[in-house]
Structure 1
Amino acid sequence: MDWYRIVFETIDMRSFSNLWFWIALAVMWSSTSHWVLGVPFDMVVRARRTGTDGPAAADLEELVRINVTRILYIAEEAGLWIVAIGSAVLTGLAVLGWVYWIEFAQACFLLGFPMSMVGLLSVVTAARIRREGLGGPAMWRRLSMHRLGTQIIGMVSIVVTALWGMFMNMSVNVLGG
């Protein structure tokens, strides 16, 4: 058996017909909607259940404060570089994907672009939490709204990716590419 043939049969570079791509997409959006600003959402649910006086609420507030500080520090110190490099990478993937029709680049773009939107949403939410000094139920609502926004971006991303993936798989089969 040829080692390279086995590897490339297992890791098919035609991304949209590869089960691993769809598993990665599902895991990515599942974990992204669970971790809200770096905080597991079950902590928000637990804090709501026990109220503002419980230790769950204090733990949540401290973890949110730590992550908001971390996110805003990164945005202030390296935000311009992150935006510049991220834009260059996404532009390169878009050009490779839709000008040169490289399916792997299309798949990477369809994973990366929506995550850049979630990153932007995280910075905006973190800035709002700090600016308004949110805590308690107001912070819980803001985290829930952030999660809802993330889930909407995820649903749109999954639908667009699924439709494009079906189109690519059908066009490869019809055109014999």
Structure 2
Amino acid sequence: MDWYSSIFELIDMRSFSNLWFWIVLAVAWSTASHWVMGVPYDLVVRARRVGGPVEADLLDIVRINTNRMLQIVEMSGTILLAMGCFVFTGLATLGFFYGVEFAQALFLLLFPMTLVMFINIFHARRLRRQDLTLERVAKTLLRCRLYTQIIGMIAILVTSLWGMYQNISIGVLG
């Protein structure tokens, strides 16, 4: 027995039974709910509490991120949408039709993040049309964070149920 097979015997390389997949899933959703539209949520809380220069920093970073995000969407949104549809169709086909567990894991990790991205774009468009005040920005970012957390909870639930199903079915068949 060589060292390569020893490592693969020690570390299960299937996605849903691998601890690293679940760590990546938790970190991804934790990061997505903390960085709302590219703005750290603790900055929103501090700006509401302290005001002054922190409030100005919040409004500046929201304006910059909103303009940046919407410029990317306006310049290459159609191409990005087409590439995303191609990638997700390929992952879904490989994963759920051909049974490739790694493709299933990637799909279940990345597809809900695109929903969060669409929510961020929607709220960025809404903020661009309005005057940026602390209360309006804080309310929008709070709503965006809430939607992100709801999508995250549903995604984690679906991923964990699918992962348990995969582990049980492979355990029974294998």
User: For the superposition of Structure 1 and Structure 2, which TM-score range results when normalised by the shorter chain?
Assistant: over 0.9
Q: Which amino acid aligns with 2:23?
A: I
State which of 86, 107, 110 in structure 1 corresponds to 2:108: 110
Identity %: 58
- Map of 1:30-49 to 2, 5 A cutoff? 30-49=30-49
Contact 1:13 1:104 in 2 (8 A): no
Q: Could you say which residue in structure 1 is the equivalent of 2:55?
A: 57
Number of corresponding residues: 174
Q: Residue 16 of structure 2: SS of its match in structure 1? A: helix
Query: 1:12 maps to what in 2?
Result: 12
Equivalences for residues 161-172 of structure 1 within 5 A = 161-172=159-170
Verify the 8 A CA contact 1:25 1:111 in the aligned structure 2.
Answer: yes
Q: How does 1:137-176 map to 2 (within 5 A)?
A: 137-176=135-174
Does structure 1 conserve the Cα–Cα contact (< 8 Å) formed by 2:16 and 2:163?
yes
Structure 1 gaps of 5+ residues are none
Match of 2:82 in 1: 84
Q: Is the 8 A contact 1:90 1:109 kept in 2?
A: yes
What amino acid is aligned across from residue 153 of structure 1 in structure 2? Answer: I
SS at 1:17 equivalent: coil
Q: Which residue of 2 aligns with 1:28?
A: 28
In structure 1, what residue type is equivalent to 2:147?
G
Q: Which amino acid aligns with 2:129?
A: R
CA displacement at 1:3 relative to structure 2: 4.6
Structure 2: 5+ residue runs without aligned partners?
Answer: none
Q: Is the 8 A contact 1:44 1:60 kept in 2?
A: yes
**What TM-score, normalized by structure 2, do the two folds share?**
0.95
Q: CA RMSD in A?
A: 1.3
> How far, CA to CA, are the matches of 1:71 and 1:36 in structure 2?
12
